[in-house]
Structure 1
Amino acid sequence: MRKTKRKQDEIEKIYIPSQLPSCVSESESGDEYDPLAPFVARMFNDIIEKGDREIVVVCFGTNAISGDSLGPSVGTLLTKKYDVSAFVYGTDEAQINGKNMREWLAFIKSVHKNALFVAVDASLGNKDKVGQIVFRDDGVCPSGVTGKSERFGDIGVLGIVARNQGDPLMQLLTVSPVYVDNLANEIAVMLKAALA
């Protein structure tokens, strides 16, 4: 886990609009361009740069709040549908949320010493960022809405599920579960490609 603090503008971010077609023709030669390629390439390079470290994906959230169910949905897809070659924690059946996060993280860190942690969480954002996926090279701040947690992870993947205005809990409660499931599937597909 990183302990350094950096200014917001120094953090590497890649925004990927949601609901993109899987392939978009880009060149006259007929080659296809995958709009997810920059994300997958960047994550793959980060994983390669970390050396032979074990990869652990930690998905934060709870199914009790539709907007916050993104993490567990991603974890479930990674374990049940895509069967990735990494340890995955935080699924629909075993959620990691504000109530049990300290215990889970202590356990995960004790079992996976010196691992490369990829953290996945839902987030609120500006109106123009809703529906996008954000890649961070400094992890995520789970339970950030409540201000009760510290940053976790070497690589962070955030799905912007709603606008950051008014009461954050109300914003998360009003997000469509179908919308969250679609965004979760996009993230799971990206992670599967990056971890392959």
Structure 2
Amino acid sequence: MKEAFPIIRKRIKGPELGEFMLSIRRSGVRTEDLVFLCIGTDRSTGDSLGPLVGTMLEEAGYTQVLGTLEFPLDASNMIHRLTSLPLMKSGKSFIAIDACLGQSSSITSYQVSNQPMEPGKSVGRMLPPVGNYSIAAIVNHNEGNQYAILQGTSLYRIMTMAKEITTSIMDVFPLESAAGLTPEGELG
């Protein structure tokens, strides 16, 4: 019988992202098992975090990425893109990455979980839960007009947080060539 893992849902700061990634790795997930669902749009500064992470991962050589600046994974196309994706039935593990709004004291923190996320929830969207694991970057406060707040979010903050997420992924789940392995999986 497979051992059940306790549900993890906690708020962390950027330096703790690596430990969260290590918890995923310790559960038996390998780099080649991962698909990154980088949710958001390139049309709003605050909501561009997911596509920025996707673009950074793709530029680093990761191939199992859905959601980039060029081809965002957002509310307008998410259901269609996910249901038409053969990887959804492949036994892969999915890490969903998205921006969200939260309390002022939580800005620049991350809400991480070993459970799916509900994208768009902080702006009142009703989309299906996605991911086996989730990282929600708290990019601004949740007060007033959420769309205006996302639009007015600091690009510097978004870039900094996107780099933190990307770095933690690359450190814990390196590509074979980056880990000093040959294509056959032997040390080079």
Give the TM-score of the pair, scaled to structure 2: 0.80
CA displacement at 1:54 relative to structure 2 = 1.9
* CA contact 1:72–1:90 (8 Å) conserved in 2: yes
SS at the partner of 1:117?
strand
Q: What does residue 60 of structure 1 align with?
A: 39
* CA contact 1:50–1:116 (8 Å) conserved in 2: no
Corresponding pairs, count: 166
Q: What does residue 81 of structure 2 align with?
A: 104
Q: What does residue 184 of structure 2 align with?
A: none
Structure 1 residues not aligned, in runs of 5+:
1-9, 18-35
Residue 95 (1) aligns with residue 72 (2): yes
For 2:137 and 2:120, how far apart are their aligned partners in 1? 14
Give the TM-score of the pair, scaled to structure 1: 0.77
Q: What does residue 96 of structure 2 align with?
A: 119
* CA contact 2:116–2:134 (8 Å) conserved in 1: yes
- Higher alpha-carbon deviation: 97-106 or 178-187: 178-187
For 1:41 and 1:177, how far apart are their aligned partners in 2? 26
Q: What does residue 10 of structure 2 align with?
A: 13
* CA contact 2:116–2:132 (8 Å) conserved in 1: yes
Q: What does residue 5 of structure 1 align with?
A: none
Per-residue Cα deviation, 1:125-180 (whole angstroms, up to 9, x for no partner) = 11110011221111221122232212111110111111011121111011022221
> Structure 2: which amino acid aligns with 1:133?
Y
Q: What does residue 171 of structure 1 align with?
A: 149
Structure 2 residues not aligned, in runs of 5+:
1-6, 175-188
Residue 42 (1) aligns with residue 39 (2): no
Runs of 4+ in 1 over 4 A off after TM superposition: 50-53
Per-residue Cα deviation, 1:81-108 (whole angstroms, up to 9, x for no partner) = x334x61110011100011011111123
* CA contact 2:11–2:109 (8 Å) conserved in 1: no
> Structure 2: which amino acid aligns with 1:101?
M
Q: Residues 71 and 51 (structure 1 numbering): CA distance in 2 closer, same or farther, change over 3 Å? A: closer
For 2:66 and 2:158, how far apart are their aligned partners in 1? 19
Q: What does residue 129 of structure 1 align with?
A: 106
| Identity of matched residues, % | 25
> Structure 1: which amino acid aligns with 2:35?
V
Q: CA RMSD in A?
A: 2.1
> Structure 1: which amino acid aligns with 2:109?
Q
For 1:51 and 1:57, how far apart are their aligned partners in 2? 13
> Structure 2: which amino acid aligns with 1:134?
Q
Residue of structure 2 aligned with 1:72, choices 37, 41, 51: 51
> Structure 2: which amino acid aligns with 1:111?
L
